[in-house]
Every structure is written in C-alpha cells, then in structure tokens.
Structure 1
Amino acid sequence: MATSTFGRYEYDVPRPDPRGPARLGAGAEGPAGKRGKWLPRIVWSLAILLLIGVFIAVYFFTIRPLGFGTSLVALTAALVPVAIVFLAVWWIDRYTPQPRITLVYAFIWGAAGSVGLTFVIGGAFTYLITPEDAQEMTSQFLGAVIQAPVVEESMKSAGLIALLCWGRRFIGGPIDGLVYAALIAGGFAFTENILYFGRSFHEAQAAGESTVFWQTFMLRGLLSPFAHVCFTALCGLGLGIAAERRSLMLYFGLGIGGLSLGMCLHALWNGSTFFLEVDPEAPMRSFFQYYVTVQVPIFLVLLAMVVWLRLREHRILRRQLSAYGRAGWFAPSEVEMLISLRRRRAAEKWAAQHGTVARTAMRDLILAAVELGMDRHGVLHGAPTAKTRLRERQLLERITADRRLIGALSRPVVRLPDAAA
C-alpha cells in the first residue's frame, strides 16, 4: 500500500503490532478513554473569572485614583517590560509547550491574585514587624527589605502550589516550573509597574518635568524587566525538580529553599536603595555600578541555567522517543522530526497543504508525542502507577488516531496516472 510522506517522514509507519495501543493490554483500568474535558474547562474558567474580578477590585482601589490619563500612560509604559517577559517565556516554552489555559491562569494569578493578597496581608505583616516607636526610615526599610520579599514571593509562589495541587502534569519538570513562575512574576510586575509608573508620572506633572518618570521607566521597564522573574523562578525551579523526581521531601526542601533564596535576592534588590552612596552630581552612577556588578551576574547565571535546561529537554525527548521508536511506535525519521523545531514547522506546513484538519492533527500529534516523552522521563524516576499507565495509553491512542487521520487526508482519492502506468 502506498504511503504519504513528507521528506523521510512516513505516516503509515509499520509497527510490530498493527493493533497499536491494544498491545498494551486493557489492564485493571479498562479500555483507555478520553477524560471529560468540560469539567476542567469550567473550573479553569471560573478560576480565571474570579481572578479577573480581583483585578477589577485592585483597579478601582489602587489604579483608578491615579486618574484616567495617568492610568493610561502607566498602562502603556507597563506593556513594554511585560512584552519582554512574554517573549522570553515563549522562547523557553515553545519546545515543550504548556496548555494555554494554564498559562493564562498563571499570568492572571500574578497580575491579580498575588497582588490582591499582597495588599491584604502586606499591611498587617508590616504592622507586626514594625516597632511602635520606629522612625519613618525604619518603617520604609522593614517594608521594602522584609515585608515585600516575604509576602510578595509567598503570594506569587502560592500560584505555583495551586497548579501542583490541580495536577502534576502541569509542572512535571524544572522548565515547566520556570515557565509558570515567569508568567506569575511577569503578571505581578505588570500591575506593580502600573502603580509605580502612575505615581512617577504624577510627580513629573507636579514638578513640571518628565525626568522622574523616564528614570522610573528606564529602571523598572528596561533595566529590570526580569527582576521579579528571577526571584520567583527559583521556587519554580525547585518545585519542578521535585515534581520530576516525584519526591515529597524534595517538594518541601527545594520548594522552601527556592522560595527562601528568591526572598533573599528580592531583599538584596530592594535593600540596595538604602545602602548605596548617592553622588549628588551623578545620582544614578552608584546604582549602575551595583547593577552591573551584582544584578547582571545573577541574571546571567539564571540565563545560563535556562539554556542548559533547554538542551537537557532536547536530550530527554530524543532518548525517550527513541525508546518508543525501538518498540515500534515511531520511525527513526519521525523521532528526528519530533525533536527538531524546524522539522516540526516543516511537517505542519506540509500537513496544511492537505487542509486545516490535517494541520490540526499534525499539531496534536506533535504535542502528544512531546508530552509522551516527557511523561515517560518522569515515570522512570518513580514507580509506574495505574494513572501513569492509563495516561501513556491515552497519549499513544491520540498519536495513532492523528497518524491515521493525516494518512487518510493526504492520500490521493483516485489513482494517479503515473501510478496506473
């Protein structure tokens, strides 16, 4: 029988058992079926709507008092750093993409949930740690160096814990934890930047010059768009490593360790304004020296870690999908396609020539295969369970169904003249 091909990629791949997933056996769980999709979607939708309600409340109580014009200027300025964060998250996440609804949830949790809880808890926490006879400078120091790192990082990390409680498949490794942590932190910084930019714009209007506003925009929008990301990413990395190792002790150890280290970096960032010696003739010089000697190396270390984790994901996916290939589930050319972003795009482009349905099926096949390989890597670190076996069979059935659909749509309906000859 003729097969439909893209380059070396054959969709009708011969397998040891043509029954496909049936060779796994029915097992104690019964035949693998599709889980209900509506209940999770309803729950996620309600959670997102609740967070949007919280953001509306934050807007009316904190942003609206700045005035419509000021709020509009601040919002426009805050879009610049959050766009930089979005671009970085897209680059990190595109190799093993996460569900879009959970990505949206993570950002809105950061922009609304963590900000709302910080407003509620932050004031009470500051009151508890501030002595009654404390001077104004002491109160500001305790608020910036103690209260802000502890409360803000805890509230942001609460969104990561909620994702873990909902399902381990959302945070199955360090890259997953990093992606969600970056979005939560980016959302938090987005709302916080609106407030900072709005206040500095008010000050600029009162002073009759725009220097204050542009300095704030440069410091928060251009020089430190990843400040909050770096703080929260440490907790995300810790929880992701623990999820990959399937260790309850690591959840507590690495989770709390990453959270604590993020708090320390946050305190170091906020505390720099209290300890730097300011030269009246060049007030920004000392900050730039601190920024270059302390913050830039920290950022570069985290960037190197991200690049290494991306390369590690590539090796993991090659190893696990090759193992499935040796078992007959993938041809060697399929494995090469699935581990290469360039070949994935080429395969989707080829499928699009046969219609939107074929392209959607190709996209789903790629996503299912990526999830299969990463899930298998996680299973190898712990004992397989009935749930993990069922999940594996569901993914293999998706891949088989997508492959058959693509083959059916890409084969010619009538015999070609050269084939007849």
Structure 2
Amino acid sequence: MQDCSAALLGPYCADPFGVPRYSATIWIDFFNGHLASSTRRKYAAAANALYHQAERMTPPIDLDAALLSADLSSLEAVLSANLLSGADSLNGQSRWRLSKQFVFSILENVVRSDTAELGRELRRIKRLYAQLRPSGRQPNVRLRAIPAVALEELYEVFRPDSVRNPFRTDALKWRNFVILLMLTQLGLRKGEVLSLSVSALQTEFDEKAGGLRHWLSIDGSLLQQDTRARQASLKNGPAMRQLPISLALLTALDTYVSQFRGDPPHAFLFSSLQDGPLAASTLDQIIATAVDCLSVDAVDAIRRHADGKLSAHSFRHTAAVIRLQRFVSSGMEHDEAIRRLRPFFGWSRDSEMPFHYARAYFDPRYAQLWDEDFEASLAALREGVFG
C-alpha cells in the first residue's frame, strides 16, 4: 500500500511498477470513497495483502483477471491461502473480513451474477467462508489424516478373513477389526476406545424411521473400576456422548462380543490375551503391527502426508476429514457443518478444533490429500454413517 499523488486523494494499491490495481481502485475509491482516509487505508491494506498472496501462489494468480472473469476456483484458492496467513488475532480477523468484502463486492457489483449458475456458486463460497476466521497465532495445524492408499490397505490388513492379517487368532482378528472400524468411522480417542463397556452398544425402536436404531454409548461408567497401570480416561465432559453406528460396525461388534470376546473378569469391551482390560500400549502395538504389513507405496504416502507415523489419533483426524469432506460435498452450510462436528467428536462448545480442520481442508498444502477419493478408498467401510 502506498499514498498516490493528490489526484487519487488517498491510499491505493499498486503493482510492482507503481500502477494502481484495477479492482482495488474501484473498491476503495468508487464504492468506499465516502469513508475517512484512515478507514480506506485499512481497506487498501486488506486488498493489497490479497494481491500479494495471489502473486505468491504456485502458479501465481492474476487477482484482477480472476475477479473480472469470475474465476471462482482461483479466488477460493487465494482466499484460503490468505486466511491461513493471518498471524495476529485482532488485525488478522479484521483484514480477513475486509479481504472477503473486497472480493464479494467486486463480484456482485462489477461482474454481477449474470447467470443462475454463477449466482449459486457465489452464494456457495460466501457461505463457505462466512464462519472461517484466522487463529490467534500463526497456523501450525499438524493434520495427520491417513492417505487413501494407506487407508485402503489398512482395511485389507485388518479384515478378519484377509490373508494379510498378521494377528494370530480369530479372537484377536475380530477384536482388532472392531477397533479399526471404531477409529475410522467414529473417530474415537484412544481413551474412549479403552473405556468402552461391553454394554456400550444400545438399541431402541425408532417409531419415526420404523425400525431399530443402534448407537454406541461413551459414558466412562467403568473408569472407577479400571485396574490398569495406565488407566483409561475421557478427555472432558463433551466426550460423554452417544454415536450412531453403521451396519458394518454393528455386525462386526455383535460377532466379536457373541463369539470371540469370551467371559473375562471385567466389563470392559476389549480384553488382552490374558483376559485383562486392553492396555493403551497394546492398542499402539496393534496399529504398529498393521503398518508393518503395508506396501512400500502406502508407507511412502504415510511418510509424506501423515508425518511418517500412524497412531490411534491419526484415525480420528481421518474420520474428521472424511466427515467434513462429505458435509462440504453435499452443499451443507459451513456453520451447520461445524455445529455437527462438535458433538460427534466430543469437542466442547468453545473448542477451536473444528476450525483447525476447516482451515486445513482449504489449505493448498493438503490439496493432493483432499483430491483423493476417500469414498473409493474406504471400499467396504462405505456403509459407515457419516451424515
């Protein structure tokens, strides 16, 4: 941002050669020329930051050309990158608000929504970015979602009838398969998996749907009876919740409990080989054993996209990504998607975690991961309930 000659009477945005930016000049001098110079200076700073962001993209984006041609794909990429670059909480939120206002003002008042399709798309991206805001610090989202190629293979490794399954007995195979489904479909935390009771599966008749409804109750009711050296725990109050489960998980869970769990001297759902409650270290070892069975390509994908390692929490990241992807793909408004994420994953009302996932979803660094078809990658897991 610079001060131009007296002819322009105030702040403006200029390109590297000192030439005023076309769209920004219209927005600052024509649409908002009545505002005080100090206010217009903030507008110019916000627009200028967006131009600079566009020029840093790979490949660079001509923001004026994108605005005037209504190239919404390029504009979404620039807005997303601009959101992620906001480091200071107060200034970052103010600049983000003005940057959105600049883009939508030009599209609505200069380009206009000449077609019904353009109008719908413009409304969509306005809703999409309405609830996003910069974090109070430089983004450092370590998203460890499992790449599709690795997720596909993990299902193959864990499937009880798979020749690749490394676990020795049918009881272990079914126990570990149920754990995989819970981690992937429900995004349970490690402590939540280990705290489940054998009576966690609940069923009732749904008069509205005209059939049985099944859900998993996470309530921590057995935690006071936990004799493990490293006791299981629930992270917070919102972690106590009831989650609808898929037919695939229902069938696997019923098979495990009725045929392979046995009659251990405790009420926890999952047992060790010695019939004690399953330990956290054993759960870690189950995942590590499965990873050892993956192909070179799958391991390389994990190295590139998941920090080179998998944990129970990696599956939680994956479940959140899949659910958010389905919400966005279905056209759900962003604030509604955030509202649904919170109770499902056990986040408190003021938790920033949904916004971390939302920002990461739009982060160009993760574009390759999001472009992969998670629906295809989940194969037999696609019966999971993600709505």
The TM-score with structure 2 as length reference comes to: 0.26
More helix by share: 1
Higher RCO, Cα 8 Å, sep 6+: 1
